[in-house]
Amino acid sequence: MHSIVIMGVSGCGKSSLGEAVALATGLPLVEGDHYHSTANRDKMARGIALTDVDRADWLATLGAQLQARPAGAVVTCSALKRAYRNRLRQAAPNLRFVFLEIGKAEALARVGARAAHFFSTSLVDNQFATLESPVGEAGVLRLDATLPLAQLQTMVTEWLSATQEPA
């Protein structure tokens, strides 16, 4: 089974879909938010956007998590820039990405509705400004983040099954 990164801007549903795909596939879930440093969490809570430098250790940690799970894993990570995705690809051969595409208004509404999350709604604009669409990159499935979760999970697991290479 391939490792897969569920990616997109904050509020697109990475955590929900990641959990559903992990459950459906039996792969371990690596929730990217759990690996942010305290300093990064504090910055985001105060509405300060992370820089490439801020994200470097986080991406290295997620890469190590992928390497520690050679049989596959489901990782949730914004992976907003191609350079971030390439860094993760270096850690895991044949890494796949599911891009949950969502409009800014819907993302803002979802982030604002979260009960206890460290991410400030003021950072949604920055997420969209930072996003380099992965559409056209190899191993990427783009999905409409507003589809029902069960439908998204089915689409992802069917895509993963169809893209498996023979052993």
pLDDT digits (tens, 9 = 90+) for 43-69: 877 778 888 898 899 999 999 999 999
Query: What is the model's pLDDT at position 165?
Result: 54
Written as one letter, the residue type at 52 is D
Query: What is the model's pLDDT at position 115?
Result: 56
What is the third-level CATH fold of 4-161? Rossmann fold (3.40.50)
**4-7 vs 74-76, strand pairing mode:** parallel
Query: What is the model's pLDDT at position 118?
Result: 53
Query: In DSSP terms, which residues pair with 6 in a beta bridge?
Result: 76, 98
Query: What is the model's pLDDT at position 166?
Result: 45
Query: What is the model's pLDDT at position 167?
Result: 41
Written as one letter, the residue type at 127 is Q
The domains of the chain are located at: 4-161
Provide the phi-psi class of 25: left if phi over 0, else alpha when psi is between -120 and 50, else beta. Answer: alpha
pLDDT digits (tens, 9 = 90+) for 27-47: 999 999 889 888 888 887 777
Query: What is the model's pLDDT at position 51?
Result: 86
- Under DSSP, the state recorded for 11 is T
| Closest listed residue to residue 127, CA positions, set 104, 96, 151 | 104
Give the integer Cα–Cα distance in Å for 101 and 114.
19
pLDDT < 70 stretches in the chain: 1, 113-122, 164-167
Q: Are 38 and 83 in contact (CB under 8 A)?
A: no
| Closest listed residue to residue 82, CA positions, set 99, 57, 70, 67 | 99
The two three-digit tokens of residue 96, written as one number: 């796949």
The two three-digit tokens of residue 61, written as one number: 């940690």
